Amino acid sequence: MSLKIGKYEIKYPIVQGGMGVGVSWGNLAGTVSAAGGLGTISSVGTGYYDNCRFVKKLVEGRPLGVENTHSREALIEIFKNARKICGDAPLACNILHVITDYKRVVIDAIDAGANIIVTGAGLPTDLAKIVAEKCKDMANDVAIVPIVSSGKALKVISRFWQRAGRLPDAIIVEGPLSGGHQGAKEEDLFKPEHSLESILVDVVAERDKWGTMPVIAAGGIWDKADVDRIMALGADAVQLGTRFALTYEGDASDEFKQVLLDANEEDIKIVKSPVGYPARALNTPLIKNLEPRKILCRSNCIVPCNHGVGATEVGYCIADSLGDGVLGKLENGLFFCGANVYKAKKLQHVQEIIDELK
């Protein structure tokens, strides 16, 4: 069974979720796409790519301002490197809706050669219009895919996109066991109606009102039994994050991967984030010592943080901390992970994971 997203045919219905900062860049995404899944390049914090080689201005070793933080030049280079691995196979780009310069980064991703744009963290009501304006001559060459956590969110997005002459080419539904930012408030996260099983059924019912585009389920999917269970509930494909992060081909540092491999179940926490959503991360020193403190904003990376106001409230900067995490700096880094990360015992090759799940 293959997965069709717009005009793109993906051999296996297995998607590698976008993981920022720097966990899914060219090497991981290219390898997944070459193996017959769909690789997703993360577009956030690309300034950190290759020791900040593409950054025009650094302050204390960090990219200054939004153009340097979400660097166009670095994103283009990341796609080039992925293409060396996967050739013409479809590649997706994950772009969080909350980032400053969202529209510019969507355009950068299309220029870089993304076939599929995936957006979560907010309602990307403007994505269809941005892509339609950018791709006047290329019709539906660029597929567009929202990440949602309810049928209601899908309905709102589909209504907006319909006005721009488009509908989602696929839908990712992400449940509360996923890594990184969550789609529900902390107090609601573990209510039965927010489980992946419940929201999947809700989203499939809403999808049926709009068409037959595939629904891709994400969050806590680990082994073949999980895949079979979730497909039986109506998913057309699955998306995995944590398992692909823990591959030899994963773009994060060895230290980052080791921190995740060492995690026990009790180390996994739901934490506050300047993005405004709760997030799942490991209880590393940054989280253990968390308290409001003045944070100087250098990156202007996301709109809801409002130049460091949100960061000061929660006690850390999301760009700085994820940047430190991916470099494996245990003291200051933020280490996102899915709820099942404790099941990982060793690194694997992407091909082994695809072979196991396909």
Q: Which residues of this protein are in contact with ligand FMN, per CB under 6 A?
A: 17-20, 23, 42, 44, 94, 96, 120, 147, 174, 177-180, 218-221, 239-242, 245, 336-338, 340
Alpha helix segments (H runs only) across the chain: 26-34, 49-52, 65-69, 72-86, 102-112, 127-134, 151-163, 196-210, 224-232, 242-245, 254-261, 285-288, 309-314, 318-326, 350-357
Distance of closest approach, residue 294 Cβ to ligand FMN, in angstroms: 26
Q: Which is nearer to ligand FMN, 56 or 153 (CB)?
A: 153
Distance of closest approach, residue 302 Cβ to ligand FMN, in angstroms: 11
Q: Which is nearer to ligand FMN, 89 or 177 (CB)?
A: 177
Distance of closest approach, residue 219 Cβ to ligand FMN, in angstroms: 5
What is d(CA 34, CA 324) in angstroms, rounded to the nearest whole number?
29
Encode 263-292: b = buried (16+ Cβ within 10 Å), e = exposed: beeebbbebbbbbbbbbbbbbbebbeeeee
Query: Quick one: the chain helix, strand, coil %, rounded to 5?
Result: 40, 15, 45
Q: Which is nearer to ligand FMN, 49 or 336 (CB)?
A: 336
User: Concatenated DSSP letters for 152-218?
Assistant: HHHHHHHHHHHHTT---SSEEEE-TTSSEE-SS-TTTTTSGGGSHHHHHHHHHHHHHHH----EEEE
Distance of closest approach, residue 136 Cβ to ligand FMN, in angstroms: 27
Distance of closest approach, residue 139 Cβ to ligand FMN, in angstroms: 26
Distance of closest approach, residue 251 Cβ to ligand FMN, in angstroms: 11
Q: Which is nearer to ligand FMN, 162 or 346 (CB)?
A: 346
Q: Which is nearer to ligand FMN, 48 or 291 (CB)?
A: 48
Q: Which is nearer to ligand FMN, 32 or 57 (CB)?
A: 32
